[in-house]
């Protein structure tokens, strides 16, 4: 790296270190040729199929739950649960339908439960007051 930018010579600029460098800058193939940020020199067009080729299926998160009516214990996928987050602990809960007896189950959700359910991909509904 030179220090010609410090000398005041017209037309000469340089960047020393990373302070002046743009994080997303990509050098172009030709001097002075404009290029889109992030574009690769000879990147062919890519289809959706090509983009996802070789990706593995993500493992579904399973949650252990129990029904207070029939006392059955079971595991549920994230898609079988719903989380409602309200303004207080009284209005924050998760719900599901018992696969054994068909009862609609609603249980309170503290901070840790909310964290686990949202991290596991459970759909969340935020409740707002109408005041």
CB atoms under 10 Å from CB of 72, counted, come to 14
Looking at residues 83-87, what average pLDDT do you find?
Answer: 94
Which pLDDT does position 127 carry in this prediction?
87
Task: Supply the pTM of this predicted model.
Answer: 0.53
Residue 20 has pLDDT above 60, yes or no: no
CA–CA distance, 101 with 73 (Å, rounded to integer): 11
Looking at residues 16-30, what average pLDDT do you find?
Answer: 42
The answer to whether residues 63 and 78 touch, using CB atoms and an 8 Å cutoff, is yes
Residue 16 has pLDDT above 50, yes or no: no
Q: 109-126 burial by CB neighbour count: b if 16+ within 10 A, else e?
A: beeebbeebeeeebeeee
The answer to whether residues 61 and 117 touch, using CB atoms and an 8 Å cutoff, is no
Of 39-48, 58-67, 72-81, 83-92, the range with the lowest mean pLDDT is: 39-48
Report the largest interatomic distance among the alpha carbons of the chain, rounded to a whole angstrom. Answer: 84
């Amino acid at each position: 790296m030179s220090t010609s930018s410090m000398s005041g010579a017209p037309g000469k600029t340089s960047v020393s270190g990373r302070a002046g460098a743009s994080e997303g800058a990509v050098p172009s193939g030709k001097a002075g040729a404009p290029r889109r940020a992030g574009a690769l020199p000879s990147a062919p067009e890519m289809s959706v199929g090509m983009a996802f080729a070789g990706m593995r299926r993500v493992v579904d998160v399973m949650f252990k739950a129990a029904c207070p009516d029939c006392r059955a214990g079971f595991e549920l996928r994230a898609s079988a649960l719903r989380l409602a987050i309200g303004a207080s602990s009284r209005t924050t809960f998760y719900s599901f339908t018992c696969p054994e007896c068909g009862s609609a189950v609603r249980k309170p959700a503290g901070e840790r439960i909310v964290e686990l359910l949202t991290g596991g991909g459970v759909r969340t509904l935020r409740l707002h007051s109408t005041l």
